[in-house]
Amino acid sequence: MSSADQDTISKAPTGLLMSNYFTIKNPTNNSSDSSFRFKSNSAFISNNNKVLVLAHGTSTNSADNTAAGSGWPFPIYPAVTDKTGSYGAAWSNLDTAYFKAGKPQTLSAWLSFGSGESSETVNGQGMALVLQNNQDGSTEMGAGQEGLGVYGYDKTTNKGLSTSLATPEAVAKTAVQNSIALEFDTQKQDSASAIYPPIMYSIDALYSYYSANTFDTKSISVPAPAGFPDDTVLGAAGSYGHIALTYPSDPATYYPLSIDNTSFYNSLDKGYSMFHIHRQQGADLSDSTDAEGNKVAWHHLTFRWMPSADLKTATISYSFNDRDPDGSINNRDNRIDDNITVDMAQLGNITSDSKIYWGFTGANNNINKNVASKLVSVESIPDLVNASIDTTVTDTTKNKVMFDDPDGGTGDTTDRKVASGDKMQLDYKLTYEDGREDWKNIAAKIILPKNITYDTADGNIGTIKYENGKTEPIPASALSTASDGLQTINYTFLQNLGNISATSKIADIIINGTAVNETDADIKVNDQPAIFTGSNNIESTSTPRFTVLYKKDWTLNLTNPMTDPVTLIYQQDDATLNLSTKLNYTGKTSPQFTANDPIHYQISVGNHNLTYNTTVSANSDTLSDVIPLRTVIEKAGLDFWSLFPNNETQKVTISAIDNDGVTSNTTTYNIQVEPNHLLELNADEALQFQSINYLSLKEYIHRANNYDVSVTSYRNPWMLQVSASELTNGDSKFNGVIVNKNASTTTILTNNPAIIASDNKSYDTETTTSISKLNKWTTDSGLLLRNYGLSSSKKYSGTLTWTIMDYDNSL
């Protein structure tokens, strides 16, 4: 291998031990046709056991050469040597790295293709990630060169001035059978390009046998085969590479075209192109250079498989260049994300438990002697350990959470501005989702963002909180500082994560600190990577970027211009709670508030922290706002009236933060919740009447005590009803009834409910009314006992039933 390749391997991102999961064997599925020259496998595992070397250099294995035709004194035809180039395949070991086709799967790896330099031939041909379902898939392989180790041999037979092509079925038969491939093609084989002439692989006394070398020849007039996914086109393009999905063993993938190679072989006028699915022509698969001028040779790939319930189709989603080599998330322009629905029948007969092979194939050209090796470093194995990381940075002073989207989305919409002096919390949440093994021996390498002073007063730089309730301190001794000021935590977890032998599926790493900026300008803090390397799985993430604002020498003042307390009528129809605020500055030059600047209010009510954002409408020295608190509360999914109970006073505290991160004082609003309306009845415990002689013929018997009934109302007109039961003593009944008597009428109350008092007024304060006073009870009026005649001499008793109700015309 070249020194450049060795350097690339030595700088590969951390990968798993390849020998634990991959098998490399010579192919046995080769065609019996002697013109098929791809008999060997150039792949091997690097000496550090971390990299698959699929193809290296331009050398052709001797098994792929042909001998000269015998004849005397000169051979009938010459030997054909050094044409196949280097090509190879590495397949998963079905005991340790199988792929269940009927279950969602994820794998991730780092790919390296070469520098490109002045020509794409320096990093051609390319490689492919392949899924295949064959009885002994470890010995499957296709053709090299444009075949990338996975596609068929496009045998073109030439005799004199005539050219004939192998059938599409014959080409497909020499590919990896029952397969689906995601190709990363670093060199386009187009018949219109003079750089890539046909390649003669064999010759005999009658014929010469070629690859037309035209798999990427484009033709927009040829329709896609029936049953192929949407966005399928013939051929490909793209300088320094393209990405596409293909069906290698489907004859419909290979399409014969008339070609123009008159510059080389006048009679070679036919060749095969290939149908490419979801072709990404903008994929730059060559090495790049980072902001510091360092060579970046490795490209990250995350590949996901989601089968349908009926196992007829599957969705393949992939993200290319989704991470930088240090493990940080990349959401920049050179990232590619795609989702493709594929036909699972391409894998042959599949059940939900089918274990299929997956692996990588690759090939080099033999045009450029400096062609780079095709390299793969795998960091996660399908279904072995499925894990994820959610990373956030929280400004706990402002309750502002900032995060990055690991799947390439837009992430959060937070403004990502924090003030110097704000309390900060870094949170790395590792979640084991499922798998055949626990995530074992996890070693964390966390590079901390700058411009945060981290808390180590207790001797620890952070804490790991496990799902099982246990905590694990990360000692400050795990922290080191580089010459450029970057701080790195290197720490190995004491617990594995999982549900097999491990007792926790989640580990939450929490690191606290304080944002600091002592300069007179805002500081943009770069994202920093974190890599969590287990013996059987590797995951990486990065912190979001944010800005620490420079310290301001002015203050923001918030006042409450409202009358204290603020009255709120409990459950009043269409009730609102609009709180007025007034803001001004001390020590800031005009304009103090600038049009369109955001103002962020932090609100605390009960045990809930809420926010409200507004925008300055025009330049001003003083800013007055109204916070629609009920709307804010209900948008947060909270029940408004549960926060403001009847007949209680609730405190609401508010502070404001301006566009520069300056935080105001906190001001308090006392919200006095008053009843919507009130109606209460109180009656004395006993009504007693005077004693009389049983022979008495007195018509009305007066009350013997000062009996009274009172009604308390608030915003509620009312009516009072009363009824009386008969007066009895055992089986004896009093010969008379209880009545309500006034100057004009007498109303019998015994067994006859009657309204005896009312008030149609609504009072804004609680008002208590005495019925005896309202009705002007005297000795001869009010509740009396009417005597109808003789009764046995006994003590009689009964029951008065009082009922208070809304007035007829009230609410």
* Tokens coding 614: 């507004």
**pLDDT higher than 60, residue 407:** no
Q: Which amino acid is at 326?
A: D
Over residues 736-760, mean pLDDT: 94
- Yes or no: domain 555-674 corresponds to CATH 2.60.40.1930: yes
Greater confidence, 339 or 409? Answer: 339
Handedness of CA 670, 671, 677, 678 (dihedral sign): negative
CA atoms lying within 13 Å on the CB side of residue 418: 31
Q: Is domain 3-380 in CATH 2.60.120.200, yes or no?
A: yes
The CATH number for 678-806, chosen from 1.10.940, 2.60.40, 1.10.3470, 1.10.8, is 2.60.40
Confidence of residue 409 (pLDDT cuts 50, 70, 90): very low
- 442, 496 Cβ separation under 8 angstroms: yes
535 pLDDT higher than 70: yes
509 in helix, strand or coil?
strand
Instruction: Report the pLDDT averaged over residues 303-328.
Output: 94
Question: Does position 264 have pLDDT exceeding 50, yes or no?
Answer: no
Q: What is the rounded distance in angstroms from the CA atom of residue 399 to the CA atom of residue 79?
A: 75
In this prediction, residue 265 carries a pLDDT of 44
pLDDT at 331: 78
Q: Can you tell me the mean pLDDT for 485-490?
A: 96
Model confidence over 298-312: pLDDT tens digits?
999 999 999 999 999
Residues 553-577 have a mean pLDDT of 91
Q: Specify which of 65-74, 286-295, 623-632 reaches the highest per-range mean pLDDT.
A: 623-632
pLDDT of residue 440: 96
Chain-centre distance for alpha carbon 717: 57
pLDDT of residue 472: 97
Tokens, residue 536: 């059987």
Q: Closest Cα partner for 121 from 234, 295, 286?
A: 286
Distance separating alpha carbons of residues 249 and 229, to the nearest angstrom = 16
What was the pLDDT predicted at 397? 87
Q: Which residue has the higher pLDDT, 182 or 262?
A: 182
Give the pLDDT band of residue 327 (cuts 50, 70, 90). confident
Give pLDDT, residue 413. Answer: 63
Label residue 291 by pLDDT band (50, 70, 90). Answer: low
Average pLDDT over residues 793-811: 84
Neighbours of 68 (CB within 10 A): 14
* Predicted pLDDT at 573: 79
Q: What's the mean pLDDT when you consider all of the chain?
A: 91
Identify the band that residue 4 occupies on the pLDDT scale cut at 50, 70 and 90: confident
Residues 453, 516: Cα–Cα separation, whole Å: 7
Per-residue pLDDT for 232 more than 60? yes
In the predicted structure, residue 152 carries a pLDDT above the cut 90: yes
Nearest to 108 by CA among 301, 243, 245: 301
Greater model confidence, 797 or 161: 797
771 vs 656, 723, 755, 783, CA distance in Å?
A: 54, 15, 12, 11
Least trusted range by pLDDT, from 501-515, 684-698, 709-723, 768-782: 684-698
> What's the rounded Cα separation, in Å, for the pair 83 and 366?
7
What kind of fold does domain 386-549 have according to CATH?
Immunoglobulin-like (2.60.40)
Residue 439 to residue 498: CA distance in whole angstroms: 6
Domain 386-549 in the same topology as domain 3-380: no
Q: Is the per-residue pLDDT at 545 higher than 50?
A: yes
Distance separating alpha carbons of residues 157 and 210, to the nearest angstrom: 6
Residue 750: which pLDDT band, with cuts at 50, 70 and 90?
A: very high
Polymer length of the chain: 811
Asked whether the predicted pLDDT for residue 59 surpasses 70, the reply is: yes
pLDDT over threshold 80, residue 654:
yes
Tell me, rounded to whole angstroms, the distance of Cα 269 from its chain centroid: 53
Residues 6+ apart with CB under 8 A from 354: 100, 101, 102, 133, 347
The domains of the chain are located at 3-380, 386-549, 555-674, 678-806
518: pLDDT strictly greater than 50: yes
Across residues 617-639, what is the average pLDDT?
94
59-68, 220-229, 246-255, 388-397: segment of lowest average pLDDT: 59-68
Whole-number percent of the chain with pLDDT over 70: 96
pTM of the model: 0.74
Own/partner contacts of 476-485, CB < 8 Å, gap of 24 or more, are 479/454, 485/450
